């Protein structure tokens, strides 16, 4: 287990480094940002001065090293719009996204796993087919459209829930459900498929031969084995959720890291955009790492192998 853990952690670190390179260069695709920041009547001297001030006159590799050096010291730069350290701005908005993403994730597991188990045990029945159709349609809907439709039905027509903003549970329901909706379908699919595979195994037959009730066979013997691939998928879902949160935050006016990044894009605040994306990726990588380690823990073959 230890070897497995160390290998995973090292991989994670390497990935973060490569991500930082990608993000760094992606931000500079159309040349440096100076021309976006200067007012129209700026002179050449203004340009040179601004460039020097932002350190953009140095060769790119040097810029990257400076960037990394600052990162390791926790300095993600200063937001151009807010004139505050990026870290500060981000930390203020991060809880919003975390709240949204965790609520959505919880929903997807709480609904996805049991639905997947039930769908697997009632194979080929009407409810199974219904489940498959639901999953297929669910994955073909754009999330922002689903959000707007949800607002239309529940806020505008039924007047049950608020249309936007963050606050109490009422505000959380629609965004979290919309965000989690797509995960439910994926989790359900993978649980179903993992269960179907597992239930074919000899040890399941043995469990029945011993005289266990079908309920125990399915939920104790079957699910525990099927969980292994489901945990992996759950990790992937987290990435989707982090990304999907951006859109949901935009649709529902939910103040979080995603909407912050978008505002930064509209406002040409490139330091904030860059650091926001980098930070989100780092969160994703860490979450994946935790999932990997969890996976190693659940599967005794890795834990003791």
Partner 1 sequence: MPRETLLSVENLKTYFFTRSGIVKAVDDVSFSVRQGEALGIAGESGCGKSITCLSVVRLVPQPAGRIIAGKILFQGEDLLRKGEREMRHWRGRKIAMILQDPLTSLNPVYTIGNQVAESFRLVGSNTPYSSIMEKVIDVLRRVKIPSAEQRLNNYPFQFSGGMSQRVLAAMAIAQEPRLLIADEPTTSLDVTIQDQFLRLLKGMQRETNMGLILVTHDLGIVAETCDRVAIMYAGRIVEYGNVERIYKNPAHPYTEALMQALPKLGSKRKRLFQIEGEPPNLLNLPPGCSFQPRCPKAIDICQEKYPPVAPLAGGGHASCWLLKKEVV
Partner 2 sequence: MVGKTKKLPIGPIVLLLPMIVCGIFGQFFYPHNPEGMDLAISLRPPAWLPGGEWTNILGTDHLGRDLLTRLIAGARASLIVALFGVAIAGLTGISLGVVAGYFEGIIDNIIMRIVDSVMSIPAILLAILIAASLGPGITTIIISIAIVFWTAYARVIRGETLRIKQHDFVVQAKVTGCRSLRIMMKHIAPNIVATSMVLATLQLGQSIMVEAALTFLGLGLQPPASAWGLIISEGRGYLSTAWWIPTFAGLAIMMTVLGANMMGDWLRDALDPKLRQIL
Q: Give the interface with partner 1 as residue ranges (CB under 8 A).
A: 201-203, 205-213, 221, 224-225, 228, 298-301, 304-305
Nearer to partner 1, 100 or 207 (CB): 207
Nearer to partner 2, 121 or 237 (CB): 237
- Residue 213 interacting partner from partner 1, partner 2, none (CB closer than 5 to 8 Å by kind): partner 1
C-alpha gyration radius of the chain: 24
Nearer to partner 1, 86 or 230 (CB): 230
What are the structure tokens assigned to 197, written together? 């595979």
Of 235, 221, 238, give the one whose Cα is nearest residue 294: 235
Query: Is residue 11 part of the contact set for partner 2 (CB under 8 A)?
Result: yes
Least CB distance to partner 2 at residue 210 (A): 30
Residue 126: which residues within 8 A CB-CB, separation 6 or more?
none
Least CB distance to partner 1 at residue 206 (A): 5
C-alpha distances (whole Å) from 155 to each of 148, 150, 160 are 10, 8, 6
Distance CA 194, CA 225 (A): 8
Rounded to 5 degrees, φ, ψ at 168 are -95, -165
Least CB distance to partner 1 at residue 301 (A): 5
- Residue 294 interacting partner from partner 2, partner 1, none (CB closer than 5 to 8 Å by kind): none
Contact 293, 5 (CB under 8 A): yes
Query: Is residue 151 part of the contact set for partner 2 (CB under 8 A)?
Result: yes
Of 281, 292, 295, 296, the one binding partner 2 (CB under 8 A) is 281
């Amino acid at each position: 287990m230890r070897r497995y853990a160390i290998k995973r952690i090292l991989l994670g670190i390497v990935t973060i480094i490569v991500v930082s390179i990608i993000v760094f260069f992606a931000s500079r695709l159309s040349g440096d940002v100076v021309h976006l920041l200067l007012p129209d009547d700026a002179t050449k001297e203004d340009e040179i001065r601004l460039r020097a001030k932002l350190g953009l006159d140095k060769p790119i590799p040097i810029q990257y090293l400076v960037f990394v050096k600052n990162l390791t010291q926790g300095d993600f730069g200063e937001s151009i719009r807010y004139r505050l350290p990026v870290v500060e701005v981000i930390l203020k908005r991060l809880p919003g996204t975390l709240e949204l993403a965790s609520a959505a994730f919880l929903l997807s597991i709480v609904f996805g796993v049991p639905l997947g188990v039930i769908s697997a045990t009632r194979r080929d029945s009407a409810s199974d087919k219904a489940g498959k159709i639901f999953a297929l349609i669910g994955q073909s809907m754009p999330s922002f459209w689903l959000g707007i439709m949800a607002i239309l039905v529940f806020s505008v027509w039924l007047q049950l829930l608020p249309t936007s903003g963050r606050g109490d549970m009422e505000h959380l329901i629609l965004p979290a459900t919309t965000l989690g909706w797509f995960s439910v379908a994926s989790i359900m699919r993978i649980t179903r498929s993992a269960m179907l595979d597992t239930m074919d195994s000899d040890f399941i037959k043995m469990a029945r031969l011993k005289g266990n009730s079908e309920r125990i066979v399915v939920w104790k013997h079957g699910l525990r084995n099927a969980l292994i691939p489901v945990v992996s998928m759950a990790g992937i879902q987290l990435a989707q959720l982090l990304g999907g949160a951006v859109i949901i935050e935009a649709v529902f006016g939910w103040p979080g890291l995603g909407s912050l990044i978008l505002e930064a894009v509209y406002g040409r605040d490139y330091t904030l955009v860059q650091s926001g994306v980098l930070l989100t990726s780092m969160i994703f990588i860490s979450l994946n790492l935790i999932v990997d380690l969890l996976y190693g823990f659940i599967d005794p073959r890795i834990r003791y192998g």
